[in-house]
Structure 1
Amino acid sequence: MRVEYENRDRLLSVDSATEAQKQRALHRAVDGLREDDPLRSASVPVLGWQRAALWGLLAATVVCAALWPKITAVTFVGLCTLAYVVSMVDRILTFRTGLAARAIVISDDAARAIPDADLPDYTILVPAYNEPEVVANLVGSMAALEYPREKLQVLLLLEADDDVTIAAAKDCANIDYVSILLVPPAEPRTKPKACNYGLQFATGEIVTIYDAEDVPEPLQLRRVVAAFRQLPDNTACVQAKLAYYNGHQNVLTGWFTAEYGLWFGYLLPGLMRSNSPIPLGGTSNHLLHPVLDKIGAWDPHNVTEDADLGLRIAASGYQTAIVDSVTLEEANSDPINWVRQRSRWLKGYLQTWLVQMRRPRQLLRTLGFRNFVRFNVVLFGTPIIAVMNLLFWLITVLWFLGQPSAIEAVFPWYIYFPSLAALSIGNIATIYMSLIALREDDRADLLWPALSVPLFWLMMSVAAAKGTYQLIHKPSYWEKTFHGLADQPGADDAT
């Protein structure tokens, strides 16, 4: 590997760690990042100067609205339109780059050609909570991986009071390289806290995360090792592509599957080619252990810990690459469950933006102007524009119903025509990108979800509004996503 691993002497043994060592590991899991670099921790969601700036902006807006209501409304609509246009153009350019770049391809022969003796030790962290129904499938997926068993460590991270999952795991986890690691109860009760705790016991030079319902393709670990060997020395992470095995269960899973195909197949490779920060997926991100130690691992207080880690990797001067290897997951088939999951993701985007913008000048120097703008567009723009969509869809409906004069007043011609272009061209362009992605991936079966995706955006707006509200009232609250609502994949689901 590019970075030699030198921290073996501080690692704990799963079987022989004392209670004192476990408590130190737990303290590190909860407070490590906050103690090492408080400004990179979301334990305090909004710093004092940020709170003052936000309240000041709100007060100025209220005063302007009271004194000059029409000018304020026109300015607000104009700024929103500008944000839409910038976001739309950036997404199209990223997609165009991703069409040419695509992910790093490692052939089966190249993956298998690496001698076992040259493969690094690998640790797989599998956090699970209240998921007894998927444990057996998880163990089967781990057993299918083509990797030397003596170099593979699988840590099943279970909350110590999760009796049902612990019982299911004990019935299934009878493989010598799979260990059950009980995470002592402590706030916050989040996935990144469990991963931080597991990291204290990890022996691998590369560390990855799989969710309990994941089905990674068997050669994924070998492909990642081969990818690291051909990538620049400052590459800290290789992200595999995520896809869904239940894309045909209902229209919601179809929307979700088409969205992931566009995101992991084209937009993330586009970000990779342009050396932009990459918000990681929640699983199958393969990370160099020494770099994880250096940058503070995961933030236990951030509810989208994957996106946060991806941004901290970039802010620390490292890069992320995308490899052409697929991990199958279960798409949310229940609308309420989906809103819970997506609201957490979008809340985490805002958390990450607030944390990274605590040092805006440093971030600008590290990322450069173009990537700094893209960071703001993706992390701040995605949830805020989704929330604003609710307002603008309401305005559109009211206009078609009665053309009230109040709406006409805030849409003068120099605002109306750009807004109309953003509405028309933006929606058409987004649907067109999805169709191109489906054509490139030979997924004609997802044509209807791609064409009906505006309904999906409406659900996303509801989730964004919920996530924004929760950011104020319950910033570190982890809304559990329930799995096991679909059958496991068959042989033809990996396409």
Structure 2
Amino acid sequence: MIEEGDRETADALAALQLPPFLEVVVVPPGQPRTKPRALNVGLAMARGRYLVVYDAEDVPDPGQLRDAVAMFAAAEPDVACLQARLVIDNIDDSHLTRFFTVEYGALFDVVNPALPRFDLPMPLGGTSNHLRVDVLRGLGGWDPWNVTEDADLSIRLAMAGHRIGDLPSSTQEEAPSTVGAWMGQRTRWMKGLAQVTITHSRRPIRNLGRLGPTRLFGAAALIFGALASAIVYPIFTGLVVLAIAAGDIMGGDSLADTVATASAFILLCAGLLAMTVPGFVAIRRRRWGWRLWPYAALMPFYYLLVSLAAWRSLWELARDPDRWNKTEHGLARTSRAETGPSGPRPRP
């Protein structure tokens, strides 16, 4: 799927000898010019029982489509979507891509596989979503105005009584290697979480009836909680650090003050463990070795960048809610998919 007027991509595709099962579809002009609008054009043309979303730079496992079909065949009928595990390909491009690798590992190799076991909604990634076409059409496809269409679809699937399953198959993906590119992408993601929160919190009683208290709390924690925690993280951390420096943890003016400050300190420690431990678990499961351990340990500093993106997203939500910060790809200098015996090697 390419946009009308994107001559650069059209010329690049025309120069390739594409296999006969691939078809280039030009999305007609219109608004908004977003990924979900293009996906809806593709959905209208879909002829199969299942549909999968791949970004152009993705490198999925060769057997992923067969794995997905086999898993759908064995799954309960209410499983409408399977999310494959996204893995950063260009890990050695920069320190930022290494942090991104640990973050994705924690989400897709640790957190997401656990959520279906507790019957909790799973947040979709923007790619490697395998979907039942009839269910997706019944939901009206994607929301073309939401800048994180994957998060929105996750909630709408759950609200309609469907479940998302974890597909233990990897898709290599390129991460932005510069702070500027990363900030634009993450600002869009955070703004999308705010949009999803606003859209799906208008009828809380209906939501409670459809999801039940446990699943509703899980959905709120995954969407609103991710945004809210990023916003308050530096403020909360700063206040606790100031309290420690002032000696208020165990010596407040009253018992209530001491208990409140100690509770905040315990909560901060729990949050820091939540930022770091899943990363260490992901590194172990992927057998990435010790070289990423420092990045897992330093994830609390990385999340300060996430917090900055969250604050930036609120400003953009007020000023330009429909703005889509597109992430430029094809800039990777290293590739895990092309790894040799000596580790990731530079791209030619």
Distance in 1 of aligned mates of 2:273 and 2:24 = 49
Do the aligned partners of 1:173 and 1:179 also contact (CA within 8 Å) in 2?
no
1:441 is aligned to 2:286: yes
Do the aligned partners of 1:228 and 1:235 also contact (CA within 8 Å) in 2?
yes
- Structure 2 counterpart of 1:159, one-letter code: E
Name the TM-score, length of structure 2 as normaliser. 0.90
Do the aligned partners of 2:88 and 2:101 also contact (CA within 8 Å) in 1?
yes
Which sections of structure 2, spanning at least 5 residues, go unmatched? none
- Structure-2 residue corresponding to 1:217: 61
Alignment of 1:340-359 (within 5 A): 340-359=184-203
Distance in 2 of aligned mates of 1:238 and 1:456 = 29
After the TM superposition, list the runs of 4 or more consecutive aligned residues in structure 1 that deviate by more than 4 angstroms: 396-404
- Structure-1 residue corresponding to 2:267: 422
- Tell me how far 1:476 sits from its aligned partner: 1.8
Distance in 2 of aligned mates of 1:403 and 1:183 = 61
- Structure-1 residue corresponding to 2:218: 374
Distance in 1 of aligned mates of 2:37 and 2:329 = 20
Name the TM-score, length of structure 1 as normaliser. 0.64
Distance in 1 of aligned mates of 2:21 and 2:277 = 46
Aligned residues: 335
- Structure 2 counterpart of 1:466, one-letter code: R
3-state secondary structure, aligned to 1:436? helix
Do the aligned partners of 1:278 and 1:307 also contact (CA within 8 Å) in 2?
no
Distance in 1 of aligned mates of 2:95 and 2:206 = 44
- Tell me how far 1:216 sits from its aligned partner: 0.5
Bigger drift between 199-208 and 322-331 goes to: 199-208
Distance in 1 of aligned mates of 2:77 and 2:125 = 22
Residues 255-309 of structure 1 deviation map (CA, whole Å, 9 limit, x = unaligned): 1111111111121111111121111110000001111110111000110001111
- Structure-1 residue corresponding to 2:324: 478
Alignment of 1:222-371 (within 5 A): 222-371=66-215
Do the aligned partners of 2:115 and 2:121 also contact (CA within 8 Å) in 1?
yes
Distance in 2 of aligned mates of 1:403 and 1:344 = 40
Do the aligned partners of 1:242 and 1:327 also contact (CA within 8 Å) in 2?
yes
Do the aligned partners of 1:159 and 1:184 also contact (CA within 8 Å) in 2?
yes
Question: Which structure has the larger Rg?
Answer: 1
- Structure 2 counterpart of 1:465, one-letter code: W
- Structure-2 residue corresponding to 1:12: none
Distance in 1 of aligned mates of 2:12 and 2:32 = 24
3-state secondary structure, aligned to 2:327? coil
Distance in 2 of aligned mates of 1:393 and 1:267 = 24
- Structure-1 residue corresponding to 2:236: 392
Which sections of structure 1, spanning at least 5 residues, go unmatched? 1-156
3-state secondary structure, aligned to 2:26? strand
Distance in 1 of aligned mates of 2:30 and 2:241 = 48
Q: Check 1:362–1:194 CA distance in 2 against 1; reply closer, same or farther (3 A cut).
A: same
Residues 425-470 of structure 1 deviation map (CA, whole Å, 9 limit, x = unaligned): 3213432232123223322231121011122111000011111222
Do the aligned partners of 1:353 and 1:380 also contact (CA within 8 Å) in 2?
yes
- Structure-2 residue corresponding to 1:4: none
Q: 1:203 aligns with which of 15, 30, 47?
A: 47
Alignment of 1:97-108 (within 5 A): none
Distance in 1 of aligned mates of 2:17 and 2:147 = 28
- Structure-2 residue corresponding to 1:151: none
Percent of pairs identical after alignment?
37
Distance in 2 of aligned mates of 1:292 and 1:428 = 37
Q: 2:302 aligns with which of 456, 461, 485?
A: 456
Distance in 2 of aligned mates of 1:437 and 1:163 = 40
- Tell me how far 1:420 sits from its aligned partner: 0.8
Q: Check 1:419–1:332 CA distance in 2 against 1; reply closer, same or farther (3 A cut).
A: same
3-state secondary structure, aligned to 2:46? coil
- Structure-2 residue corresponding to 1:138: none
Q: 1:166 aligns with which of 6, 10, 20?
A: 10
- Structure 2 counterpart of 1:356, one-letter code: H
Distance in 2 of aligned mates of 1:174 and 1:267 = 37
Q: Check 1:433–1:180 CA distance in 2 against 1; reply closer, same or farther (3 A cut).
A: closer
Aligned-residue CA RMSD (Å): 2.2
Q: Check 1:473–1:403 CA distance in 2 against 1; reply closer, same or farther (3 A cut).
A: farther
Distance in 1 of aligned mates of 2:32 and 2:204 = 27
Distance in 2 of aligned mates of 1:160 and 1:390 = 42
Bigger drift between 413-422 and 308-317 goes to: 413-422
Distance in 1 of aligned mates of 2:269 and 2:121 = 29
Distance in 2 of aligned mates of 1:480 and 1:398 = 39
Q: Check 1:294–1:429 CA distance in 2 against 1; reply closer, same or farther (3 A cut).
A: closer
